[in-house]
Amino acid sequence: MNIENKKTVLILEKKKALKKDKNWCFWNTPDNYFTKKFENKWEEIAIRVKGQEIVKRDLRHSYLHLPSEKFYNEGLRIISQNKKIKLLFGIEAKKIKELNNHVKINTNKGIFYGKILFNSIPKHIYKSKLKQHFFGIEIKSEKPTFDKEKIILMDFQQKKNIVHFFYLLPFSEKRALVETTYFSRNLLNIRQYKDDIRIYLKNKFPNKKFKVYFCEKGILPMYKIKNQDTKRIIQIGTSNNWLKISTGYGFQNAFFNSKIIVDCIVEEKKISIPNKKIGGILDQIFCEFLIKYPNDTQDFFFKFFSGLNLKNIVNFLTERYSFVDIVKVLLKLPKKKLILTALSVLKKKIYYVN
């Protein structure tokens, strides 16, 4: 009997039901289960900086959109066909304790036991650290309004000492997702995010009326989270640095890391996901750069997108880069400030180790 047939999986979900609560966007490379099951696809990527627009197009690299309900429905379909997997809704973990040969989980609906626990409960977001925080609305207009062939990945706003941009995803000529996004330590109240979008739409699409039919918001850490894996408790998702902290991308990493975990279980090996050391250091340098030099960020992104082809850009954003890709990216940062930032990151690492 294949060892994977001996395993059973119990999924404890805090939500009472899975319904649309977010949108996932990711590049079509590398392949994963959903790269052929997307809802929308774009081959033109644009950023706007100081009144200039840079548009990139490469038929080999597409930007894909998947609404969460489509993802959930496919997952539920797969689970329903496998008798070894059970999913329970409305279960909230209260206390997790690792014992000698199993893990004990106290919940609002009783106690559960397992040989290995994969914990995706998000860690506390530190108020004093850098975060990506955003609020978005899906809107519909009465008349054709949007260029459905092109996404606006970043439309930077002129603000001092803070990084702020809009993200516009056109699902059709009449439907789109518009998000206001910040890279900063401090969060805003919900009214400020809504005002951002209201003013942006008024300026970009004057005399247009929109109906809002969905809202989403999020806070993503832009700092490395300390690994707290034990023999029987494995952190997954945001709580174990599956997000690329400089961008917030994590959908592709979820598939890549999950395959490693499954392979380790099937082969009865110790579960260990290799650290992307170079990518991790580059991310930390970039995030430190955002903190130290927020007013230089727009120039960096302008040089980053204008000086690189889409292949180099996607390789970097998905951490599938070569040494040449890394060099090209580093050359886009201001040299003196890059060196000072790198030294600052290195100093913190030495202090942390000691």
Distances (CA, A) of 334 to 162, 221, 299, 316: 18, 25, 9, 18
Digit-coded pLDDT (tens) for 250-290: 999 999 999 999 999 989 899 988 877 788 888 999 999 99
Write down the residue that tokens 């099937």 correspond to. 266
Residue 81: which residues within 8 A CB-CB, separation 6 or more? none
The whole-number pLDDT of residue 153 equals: 97
The whole-number pLDDT of residue 123 equals: 87
DSSP sequence for 218-257: EEEE-SPPPP---SSEEE-GGGGT-S-TTT---HHHHHHH
The whole-number pLDDT of residue 133 equals: 98
Q: Which fold has domain 9-120+227-267?
A: FAD/NAD(P)-binding domain (3.50.50)
The whole-number pLDDT of residue 336 equals: 85
Write down the residue that tokens 């329970």 correspond to. 88
The whole-number pLDDT of residue 349 equals: 65
Both structure tokens of 27 = 């590049």
Residues of the chain with pLDDT under 50: 1-3, 354
Cα–Cα–Cα angle for 237, 176, 283, rounded to 5 degrees: 35
Choose among 296, 243, 131: nearest CA to 304. Answer: 296
Q: Which fold has domain 131-221?
A: Alpha-Beta Plaits (3.30.70)
φ, ψ for residue 60, nearest 5 deg: -80, -15
Both structure tokens of 254 = 């979820």
